[in-house]
Amino acid sequence: MKRISALLCLCAVAGSAFAQTKLSHAKKIKEEWADFPVVHPVPPQYANEPAIILNQDVDLNYQFEGKGINVYYTLHRTVKVLDEKGIEWFNKISIPVDHGTRVPLIKARTILPNGKVRDIPKEMIKVTRNEYGGNEIVFAMEAVEKNAEIELLVKEIRPLSFFGSVDFQFPVPVAEASFDMSYPNELVFAEKGYNGFPDGRDTLINNRRHISVATTDIPALHSEPSSFYDVHCMRAAYRIDHFIDKNDFDKKSVYTWNDLARRLHDEYYMITDKERAAVNKYLTDLGVHANGSETENIQKIESGIKNNIVLYGDMDEDNEDNIDSIIANKAATSSGYIKLFAACFTQAGVAHELGLTGNRHESRFDNSFQNWSDLSHNLFYFPNTHKFMAPTAVYYRYPVVPDVYLTNKGVFSAIPAKGTVTGPLYEVRTITPLTAQQTQGNIAAAVTLDADMAAKVDISYAYSGYMATGLRKELLTNVKSKEKDIVKDVVSIADTKDNIVSYTISNATMDNFYDNKPIEITATVNTSNLVEKAGPKYLLKVGELIGTQTQLYADKDRKLPVDLDYPHTQNRTITINIPKGYKVLNPEAVKMHADYVDNNMATTISFNSDYAFKADKVTGDKLIVTVNESYSQIHFPAVDYERYRKVVNTAADFNKVTLLLEKKGGATVKETKTKSKAVASK
């Protein structure tokens, strides 16, 4: 959850700005950095919290400078820590710095309960790289103790952006919060609050325009299992609404979805004759024919580009986005990648639309507030098949796209690549996921017990659809020597990777996505932990064969809705080869059932497990256990959480199922074999 970790590290969230509190524009301004800070009392309602954000203040100041506009960004935040957990959360500060941003000022200090102040010296503030490869400023606070306060002031000068979003809710409460924008008279912005944050209104004061919003007592919002935390946080979103020229001519509705569609078209479809000729030759080399199957052409174009053109984050070349250079050099940035895809689909006659969508873990598409900053991921939509393709997701193949886009909406350019515009410039489309049956995680296992009741398991795992993406990427991006470690992660019943006697991997390459052929790992495992002796009986932990299950036993009252990554189905068949002379005392222990039905009484998620005996007088009877779990619905309102939790916990309960095996006669299996050999020798 990006925003939770951003808070705990005191990160400045991208697109946000924090500043001095301004409750109004009538000169009622708090002191930005007091020479003699005052220690604040703890409000009674927050006494049991780990920490309180005393003030969360945001300021964006747009200024004409030179030939452009700079955005002056100021962060001012004061946190009071109340216990050891609060100290742990806030004793380190990490501030990501976007490309092209200057940071002229950073101040931080600890204010102890007795009023003594510890400033962080400049030499303790370091610039480093974060896990995403971007720059960040980090430093540790000094002398942080219970009831101390941590104050931070950051000023940045950022390149112009007409869109953004600011978060105001975190896992600790916020006592006071304010959001303020100031900009030249020629610009008019709009602001919209989400999840209870107030809306602001553009006003004109002293020939500059302003938006000011202030609120108090924002409650803590805690993360919960199977929820997208960021989506539900209070936040303020802003966008440019229109421009006003010197003659007060009001240009309405700028930077609309129509404008976005036009920009997508102009950026990616305007190519030269030289580029077009290079594309036509490239398509011939890929075996793409204009009159061929559209699905086959999509697949050939995608695999040709993703398998052979290297995608770079940045390239220092003047012609990096020229299609002929991309094809010749077999290298491209993301924009070059998209441009090549668009040209190939156009020249091959594949009906398509290029669009943008957002990460549904972070924000939900809002058609009433056209905020471009919520849309940062490109997708192609194919109207003839109603399916999508992610051009820069090199470890995905049509029609599987990253699950963070699923069920969100996107804006797609409806401007034809060839010809004139005859209808709307854009379409809003929902990124529909594959069905639960198209994404499966299946297990087939056979358990054999030797004379000492040690278990050997022949087991096969098969993953298709979205469930195959992570495993395929792991296998394709790691060296061969790491392969068995990856297999061990899948074959969870193996105590160590040395317990895996043998294994095979099938259908690991990316082209298997096209016919949804599952990636399979088949292994033979010797495991000592699956069976335990309990007096004259043996305990077979059959539930562990389906792998660790999510459990929701200790949840508090649910606040957030449930959101799952994707629809999916899991089918497991477990065959227990019962040793001759033994019987299973409690087969009914595997029988479990729970489901969730919608208003039409249709089952949308379910867990079912059952068993059957298969008699075999020669080698011993078999107990065949079947486990079926299905999630065709992936969103559940908080009021239905208990019904959802019942299904999840039933699966977790199965994970603990243990079968009891007991000998039928007076001899153990080993003794019986010994006696049989003795009789035979006589």
Across the chain, which has 682 residues, the per-10-residue mean pLDDT values are: 43 32 38 89 92 96 94 96 95 88 93 94 85 82 93 94 95 97 95 97 94 97 94 97 78 89 95 96 94 94 97 77 93 95 96 97 95 96 97 98 98 87 89 97 96 94 98 95 96 93 97 97 94 94 94 85 97 95 95 92 95 86 96 95 95 96 68 43 40
pLDDT in tens, 576-603: 999 988 999 999 999 999 999 988 888 9
What pLDDT is stored for residue 249 in this prediction? Answer: 66
What pLDDT is stored for residue 55 in this prediction? Answer: 96
Label each residue of 68-115 as H, E or C: EEEEEEEEEEEEEECCHHHHHHHCEEEEEECCCCEEEEEEEEEECCCC
User: Is the distance from CB of 542 to CB of 588 less than 8 angstroms?
Assistant: no
Rounded Cα gap, residues 593 and 613, in angstroms: 19
Rounded Cα gap, residues 345 and 118, in angstroms: 61
Q: What would the two tokens of residue 51 be?
A: 């920490």
Angle (deg, nearest 10), helices 334-347 and 257-268: 80
Predicted structure pTM score? 0.89
Q: Which burial class, exposed, middle or buried, applies to 263 when counting CB atoms under 10 A from its CB (0-12, 13-18, 19+)?
A: middle
What pLDDT is stored for residue 616 in this prediction? Answer: 82
What pLDDT is stored for residue 96 in this prediction? Answer: 87
Structural domains present in the chain: 2-246 (2.60.40.3140), 258-430 (3.10.620.30), 531-556+569-682 (no CATH)
One-letter identity of residue 598: D
Rounded Cα gap, residues 187 and 184, in angstroms: 6
| Dihedral pair phi/psi, residue 658, rounded to 5° | -125, 130
Q: For strand 659-663 and strand 582-584, is the pairing parallel, antiparallel, or unpaired?
A: antiparallel
Rounded Cα gap, residues 345 and 348, in angstroms: 5
Label each residue of 542-602 as H, E or C: HHHHHCCCCCCCCCCCCCCCEECCCCEEEEEEEEEECCCCEEECCHHHHCEEEEEECCCCC
Nearest CA among 475, 455, 472 for reference residue 463: 472
One-letter identity of residue 560: L
Q: How many Cβ atoms from other residues are within 10 Å of residue 567's Cβ?
A: 23
Nearest CA among 275, 286, 427 for reference residue 350: 286
What pLDDT is stored for residue 159 in this prediction? Answer: 94
Rounded Cα gap, residues 175 and 46, in angstroms: 9
User: Is the distance from CB of 670 to CB of 582 less than 8 angstroms?
Assistant: no
What pLDDT is stored for residue 248 in this prediction? Answer: 63
Q: Would the CA dihedral through 27, 28, 34, 35 be positive or negative?
A: positive
User: Is the distance from CB of 29 to CB of 22 less than 8 angstroms?
Assistant: yes
User: Is the distance from CB of 409 to CB of 368 less than 8 angstroms?
Assistant: no
Q: How far is CA 428 from CA 269, 356, 366, in A?
A: 20, 10, 11
Exposed e or buried b per residue across 657-680, where buried means at least 16 C-beta atoms within 10 angstroms of its C-beta? bbbebebeeeebbeebeeeeeeee
Peptide bond before residue 37 is cis, with ω within 30 degrees of 0: no
pLDDT in tens, 221-260: 999 999 999 999 999 999 999 998 766 666 678 999 999 9
What pLDDT is stored for residue 6 in this prediction? Answer: 41
